[in-house]
Amino acid sequence: MIKAAIYVRVSTTKDSQKDSPEHQISACKHYAEDMGWETGEDIVYEDRESGANITDRQAIQQVVRDAQRGAFQVIIFAALSRFARDIGDSISLKRKMVNALNIRLISIDDHYDSDRDDEMLFSIISSVNQSVSEQISRSSRRGKRESALKGNFTGSRAPYGYNREIRHGLKVLVPNEQQAAVVRGIYQLYTANKMGEKAIVKYLNDKGIPSPKDVTWGITTVQRILQNEAYIGKNRSSKYETKTSTIHRNMSRNGDVQVMMTFGLQQ
């Protein structure tokens, strides 16, 4: 019997309920059942990693390894947008799976079947998916920018020394007094006492002061605190923007938004 693998990707955005992993898996299993194909939990791949480069993700690497050893003959996606959002990544992986390993690729929502449809259709669908993804990303960045300009803290996690609260309809950072005392102490040791980062780490660990993650302090943690502008009352949003292409990937400082706030820990 033909074995069909199932690949689902968990998006980091707030997708509609129909795109949840459970719904994707259910749709793929029903499709396989209708086709008379066998599925199994060992060939259901759930990708929870973020990032645009699909070839670096562990779930995809496992899919390729299993395909190479003949664990399945078909792989089913709810939609090709779950496969990859970058057209270069999509075509490269499609050629590896379909052309090189002779795996049949099915996309339910796109009505795509590699046994029936050519690469031109695959490229068109992938191109549209990339365009839609980029448009959503631009809209998201624009929304975050406007939110930051209104005075909202748009980060996913409050820096050590702060709590994130809603006040007067705005998401703001409010000092956590216990942690704030540690932050002030670090700056005191660094500026007034002229202690280096290694010496500060040793001091904090010797004193038994809990780190942000309740483990021992490390140099990286201290460096991030000393370099974080939140501690002088600045709220930066969209400081870094990820630039992706099929040839080169880098980080850019485009789209920097700076909003002055009054929640700094300075005294």
What are 34-57's pLDDT values in tens digits?
Answer: 999 999 999 999 987 765 466 677
Of 179 and 249, more confident? 179
The count of residues in the chain is: 267
Model confidence at 157, in pLDDT bands (50, 70, 90)? confident
pLDDT at 131: 79
The proportion of the chain whose per-residue pLDDT surpasses 90, expressed as a percent, equals 46
- Set out the domains of the chain in order of their start, with CATH numbers: 4-141 (3.40.50.1390), 150-260 (3.90.1750.20)
Cα(198)–Cα(250) distance, integer angstroms = 30
Between residues 235 and 28, the one the model is more confident about: 28
Alpha-carbon distance of 41 to 183, in angstroms, equals: 48
As given in the structure block, the two tokens for residue 263 are: 């929640």
Per-residue pLDDT tens for 73-101? 999 999 887 666 677 788 888 898 999 99
Whether the pTM exceeds 0.75: the reply is no
| C-alpha to C-alpha distance for 171 and 188, rounded to whole angstroms | 29
- pLDDT tops 90 at residue 151: no
Query: For residue 55, what pLDDT is reported?
Result: 66
Banded pLDDT at 245 (limits 50, 70, 90)? very low
Q: What is the 3-state secondary structure (H, E, C) of the chain?
A: CCEEEEEEECCCCCCCHHHCHHHHHHHHHHHHHHHCCECCHHHEEEECCCCCCHHHCHHHHHHHHHHHCCCCCEEEECCHHHHCCCHHHHHHHHHHHHHHCCCEEEECCCCEECCCCCHHHHHHHHHHHHHHHHHHHHHHHHHHHHHHHCCCCCCCCCCCCEEEEEECCEEEEEECHHHHHHHHHHHHHHHCCCCCHHHHHHHHHHCCCCCCCCCCCCHHHHHHHHHCHHHHCEEEECCCEEECCCCCCEEECCCCEEEECCCCCCC
Task: Determine the straight-line distance between the first and last CA of the chain, rounded to whole angstroms.
Answer: 72
Q: Which tokens is 134 given?
A: 């980029």
Q: List Cα–Cα distances, 253 to 198, 239, 240, in angstroms.
A: 29, 6, 5
For the ranges 3-17, 53-67, 80-94, 230-244, the lowest mean pLDDT is seen at 230-244
**Alpha-carbon gap, residue 199 to 227, rounded angstroms:** 17
Confidence of residue 232 (pLDDT cuts 50, 70, 90): confident
Residue 12 pLDDT = 53
Taking only the tens place, the pLDDT of each residue in 187-230 is: 999 999 999 999 999 999 999 999 998 899 999 999 999 999 88
Q: Could you read off the pLDDT of 126-143 as tens digits, one per residue?
A: 888 777 767 777 787 788
Torsion angles phi and psi, residue 150, rounded to 5 = -80, -10
Instruction: Copy the structure tokens of residue 221.
Output: 């943690």
> Does residue 155 register a pLDDT over 80?
yes
What is the mean pLDDT of the segment spanning 91-114?
91
